[in-house]
Amino acid sequence: MSFLTYPDLSEGGPENMATDWWLFEKAASEAKPKFRAYSWASEEISFGYGQKWEWVEEVTGASIQNLVRRPTGGGIVRHGQDWTYCLVLPSSHGSFAIPSLSLYELIHQAIGAALANQSVPTVLQPCPASKTKGIPGDCFDEPVGKDLMSQDGKLKLAGAAMKRSRQAVLVQGTIDLRPIANFDPKRYKKDFVWALSEMVEEKAEAVEWPENFLSQRNPFVEEFASLEWRRDRKRI
């Protein structure tokens, strides 16, 4: 078996969420772990599955039409100056059995190791997490246990959110690039993928998006772009 890695894409919020969801849905019929990194075509704000959209509008000043709700939990994330990734672990793979907190820690250890190769020292936020000042529910202003922090513990550099079902675990994570000088995305991705492949105990294999990918993804794009999803978490 192998650990599949897909080409990077730069798209809008609904497309980004739909691609992650497409990978998550594929886990029901594909036993291999999957990974992709991506960027955002413009500066956008995503918010967690469980957050109330009215409150997110209030604290961000953005209209619901310009916000995207993630299928995973977590808080508000401002995209555009970050490095975003998706990891899917199918239930038929041994890595699915890793407890959520342990998985969160292992992923952030892998990120820390990749950043260390670029002379960026980091530490893990201890549990329980201490609260910092900022907008409540803002991902990078409120570190939680096992988040990746700057060496002095003052800045949160990486966080993630998960969705676990009977078929797979979906991890959506991001790294705040603003405090990181001279970030090399190609080198970082190579080092991070290697560390993840060690975690899942599979050899990384680069694959292309299938020919029918866009047609299969389109219904998910419509769902994540709909007001029914953004406001009420309703699938259409």
Residue 143 banded pLDDT, cuts 50, 70, 90: confident
Tokens at residue 57, please? 């509008």
In Å, how far are 25, 70, 81 from 19, measured between CA atoms? 10, 12, 20
Q: What integer best gives the mean pLDDT of the chain? A: 92
Query: Quick check: 49 pLDDT over 80?
Result: yes
Query: What are the pLDDT digits (tens) for 158-208?
Result: 999 999 999 999 999 999 999 999 999 999 999 999 999 999 999 999 999
Predicted pLDDT of residue 128 = 61
| CATH for 2-232 (3.30.930.10, 2.60.40.150, 3.30.420.40, 3.40.50.2300) | 3.30.930.10
Domain ranges for the chain = 2-232
Is residue 65's pLDDT more than 90? Answer: no
Would you say residue 90 has pLDDT above 50?
Answer: yes
Whether the full predicted model's pTM is greater than 0.85, yes or no, is: yes
Q: What is the pLDDT of residue 145?
A: 81
pLDDT of residue 146: 87
The reported pLDDT for the residue numbered 92 is: 94
For the segment 17-45, the average pLDDT, to the nearest whole number, is 95
Q: Is 29 exposed, middle or buried (0-12, 13-18, 19+ CB in 10 A)?
A: exposed
Task: Tell me what pLDDT residue 141 has.
Answer: 67
pLDDT at 236: 63
What count of Cα atoms within 13 Å lies in the side-chain half-sphere of residue 156? 24
The reported pLDDT for the residue numbered 137 is 66
Q: What span, in angstroms and rounded, lies between the C-alpha atoms of 195 and 200? A: 9
Q: How far apart are CA 110 and CA 107, in angstroms?
A: 5
What is the reported pLDDT for 107? 97
